[in-house]
Structure 1
């Protein structure tokens, strides 16, 4: 079953820009690079306390383009949002994926937020996370050792069952900067509550 849907947000688009998910080919690569350049220019233009450095703009554009190119090849995603409160530090990717609703709601949401996933450094912190816009959901904070990075990482995982569409939706981010990520949980929760299904898709 192919799931056709789109999430949107009314969060600040300069902090939470959407990343295009393109296919292969010259046209896709050209569009991706254009998006990365324009997004980098905009984000750096909003930094008030220092002049825009073309090298920094170019570097961020390269990083954005690299992530936009590689992510769809390595992770099944429907959409990607970025968290970029300051272009001078590494941004986070928030990956959106959806599939047909299956099984008991609680058990499925627990699975989607990786409550019992092997490899956790400790029991994940799991809470109910219902929102007015998406419905019944859960959120977890999970600490684990990444075999790829060989470092302790943290993931923040949201999942909802959208009854009206018959789908379960996951929104997930992860990274090694545990202190910074956990310090911004309130920001992430606010963003998650702002998400809604785009009716125009």
Structure 2
């Protein structure tokens, strides 16, 4: 068995607690006993406390309600995925990034193109498909594509990454998207950096001092 180890930058990323993401589809136990409201309010206060900006009137409450909305919406979009929110400033609009792994099946190149939607079905222009080599996961794909949301006729910008890790027999996928294309493009470097921080670990993995360097 394997698990994801994501060493993300705590200054710009926050994680929706796994009990509401992974724990929604499989048994999950940890010491986090907070209710959603408690998590959202504590996180909002912490994010503003550590910011160089000063919170204006009602801004802590606004971030609290925004985080609650993220918690309500995003775990339903990709059940069981780990979810990180890109939030470089407390006044930013959070960009959700979904990460998961699953047993490898089928031919590698075909499957990586399939899960990244690289073939362009439903896209309004040819997707930008690039090789992407991550520090731990090795060679994979990164695909940027644009499509139309049929419900409101808006353009959706989506970004997907995929790798096959032969050692673990697992495929790893990262997904994000936004109805504001600039939202994804301005976060691209940070998401690339996040992708380099994703590791697959065996269940018996024991961290070493060098892992934290």
Change (3 A) 1:200 1:8: farther
TM-score with structure 2 setting the length: 0.81
Match of 1:5 in 2: 3
CA 1:39 to 1:75, structure 2 compared with 1: closer, same or farther past 3 Å? same
Map of 1:57-72 to 2, 5 A cutoff? Answer: 57-72=60-75
Q: Normalising by structure 1, what TM-score?
A: 0.85
Q: How does 1:1-201 map to 2 (within 5 A)?
A: 5-9=3-7, 11-21=8-18, 22=20, 30-49=34-53, 51-53=54-56, 55-199=58-202
Q: Do the aligned partners of 1:146 and 1:153 also contact (CA within 8 Å) in 2? A: yes
Number of residue pairs matched by the alignment: 195
CA distance in 2, matches of 1:34, 1:8: 24
The structure-2 alpha-carbon separation of the partners of 1:148 and 1:7, relative to structure 1 and needing over 3 Å to count, comes to farther
**Backbone CA RMSD of aligned residues:** 2.4
2:211 aligns with none
How far 1:35 moved relative to its partner?
2.1
Unaligned runs of 5+ in 2: 25-31, 205-213
Instruction: Give the gaps of 5 or more residues in structure 1.
Output: none
**Displacement of 1:30 after TM fit?**
4.2
Distance 1:66 1:180 in 2: 18
CA distance in 1, matches of 2:201, 2:63: 29
Contact residue 44 and residue 87 of structure 1 kept, 8 A: yes
